[in-house]
Amino acid sequence: MIHTVWPYLAVMLLAAGLFPALERRFGWRVFNVLPPIVFTYLLVTALAVSGLWQVNEEIRTAQSVLVSHMVPALLFLLMINCDLRAIFALGPRVLGVFACTSVSLFIAFIATFLIYHRWLPGDDWHPLAALSGSWVGGTANMIAVKQAIAMSDQHLAMSLLTDALCYSMWVAVLFAVARLAPAFNRWTRAKSSGDLQVVEPPSAGPTTTDSVLLWLGMALGVAAIAAVVATYLPTSTMISATTWTILLATGAGLVVAHTPLARYPGAGTISSALLLGVVAVLASQSNFHGIAAAPLYLLCGATVISLHAVLLVGFAKLFRFDLFLCGIASLAHIGGVAATPILAASYSRALVPVGILLALLGYILGTGFGLLVASIMSALAGA
């Protein structure tokens, strides 16, 4: 049994890197359904339940310090590639589709909560709120919402599983409906976006040793400063010092994204590694308690996506959006920056940069969206 911090950290790093390495080396199809991050969470949870490490004061303190500093640092790094000028240059039509997609998801989450709230007593709505952050941004936004609303570690497994399984189902649907685009566009009287020309975001180049050190130092420094500033800001039942820390770090990242520093490589690679590390540490604090509720949350996730699809089709008819833009905007929310360019390329090569930029916009808005959904669910649950 592990009793000290350093062996514990070694296990966390090995677990965080294992499944991404297997995916890169072998490309097993199972990773198309459950991404490596879910396997990382389940593996570390199983190790925690087996008693591989003792949750003593030393390890408990290390877990708390790691999560509280790594999450703001992670969000800071995620924002580095989010150039708002490039996003706004997409034009009102593309941003309109994105806005309608966000509104449809917002309505879908609140409606789903109202449908199933009698089976979600107490704080059992927390996984839905965290999931809403992920389904506008990504897993990092889910974890940010989790920290901000003090969601239990046991609930995180529900959010991750629902995210992975429902997302996989929705990706398959979005690929399958591509052949319906001509008929859909005639019905909505929309012009196809297949010939839309957008400048592809420039690549920052390969990650180097110096860029790793500089970005890590900058990210941890921003996280520390944000935590200090947050102690001077007003708090409430929904806005805690942790919430302020997360929002300040996100804002700092957006500012740096518009400086020459943004062209320095490595921020994306380091943020991906930090995300896996954070998930491993969070999983190390949890157990399989409450896993029996997974089918209910999967039903909630499927309901959210179904309502979202119906509403988005309605918006497409109302505002004359074409199928390609609707599909890309939807996956930019639910799938994130990794999956959206692939779907966009299957529609039209010219839409790849649109998918990337919309997914990045989702990262910017995901945490705030999740906190808004959480505040409304909290009020409804209290009522």
pLDDT of residue 383: 56
List the chain domain ranges.
82-267+292-382
Least confident of 50-54, 171-175, 219-223, 337-341: 337-341
* pLDDT > 90? residue 41: no
Which residues, at least 6 apart from 327, have a Cβ–Cβ distance to it below 8 Å?
174, 177, 178, 343, 347
Distance CA 193, CA 41 (A): 39
Which residues, at least 6 apart from 192, have a Cβ–Cβ distance to it below 8 Å?
181, 185, 322, 324
Q: Give the confidence band of 154 by pLDDT, cuts at 50, 70, 90.
A: confident
Q: What is the pTM of this model?
A: 0.86
Q: Which residue has the higher pLDDT, 350 or 238?
A: 350
Tokens (6 digits) for 335? 């799938």
Angle formed at CA 378 by CA 363 and CA 165, multiple of 5 degrees: 50
* pLDDT > 90? residue 240: no
From 140, 159, 188, select the one nearest 359 (Cα to Cα).
140
Are 347 and 178 contacting, i.e. CB atoms less than 8 angstroms apart?
yes
* pLDDT > 70? residue 195: no
